[in-house]
């Protein structure tokens, strides 16, 4: 998993490991959301709003969904459910270290969630 924000100073993405049980739960979450049938992008073109990208790769299949105020672009609620599920199962407590955080300086921020399953 990684998180990236566009800030005035560059930094490295965050990485963390999660248990096999969490990976199974995340794969089930994506599967139950029928994630591979979603559009690649739900973008309301709001330049000052944060964008969120979720993605998954397994069994030689990959899919990502970019959401930028997606509720105004016809995004199904299941996309938010997936984003919230990622945060709940393997989110900020797992992969963000407080000491490495850089304050948002008013520039658009993008959160990226990537789940890889062998």
Q: Does 1 map to a domain?
A: no
Q: Residue 52 sits in which domain range?
A: 19-116
Q: Which residues contact 101 (CB under 8 A, 6 or more apart)?
A: none
Q: How far apart are the first and last CA of the chain?
A: 14
Q: How much is the mean pLDDT over the chain?
A: 74
Q: Which residues contact 105 (CB under 8 A, 6 or more apart)?
A: 7, 8
Q: Does 76 map to a domain?
A: yes
- What does the pLDDT look like over 53-98, one tens digit per residue? 888 988 888 999 999 888 889 999 999 999 999 888 887 766 555 4
Q: What is the mean predicted confidence (pLDDT) over 7-19? A: 60
CA distance linking residue 34 with residue 68, whole number of Å: 20
Q: Does 9 map to a domain?
A: no
Domains: count for the chain: 1
Would you give the distance in Å from CA 72 to the centre of its chain?
Answer: 18
Specify the pTM: 0.67
């Amino acid at each position: 998993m990684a998180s990236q924000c566009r800030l005035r100073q560059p930094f490295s993405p965050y990485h963390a490991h999660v248990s096999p049980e969490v990976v199974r739960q995340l794969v089930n979450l994506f599967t139950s959301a029928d994630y591979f049938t979603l559009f690649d992008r739900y973008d309301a073109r709001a330049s000052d709003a944060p964008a969120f990208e979720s993605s998954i790769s397994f069994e030689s299949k990959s899919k990502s969904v970019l959401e930028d105020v997606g509720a105004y672009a016809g995004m199904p609620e299941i996309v938010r459910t997936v984003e919230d599920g990622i945060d709940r199962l393997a989110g900020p407590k797992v992969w963000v270290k407080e000491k490495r955080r850089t304050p948002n300086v008013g520039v658009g921020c993008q959160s990226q969630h990537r789940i890889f399953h062998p």
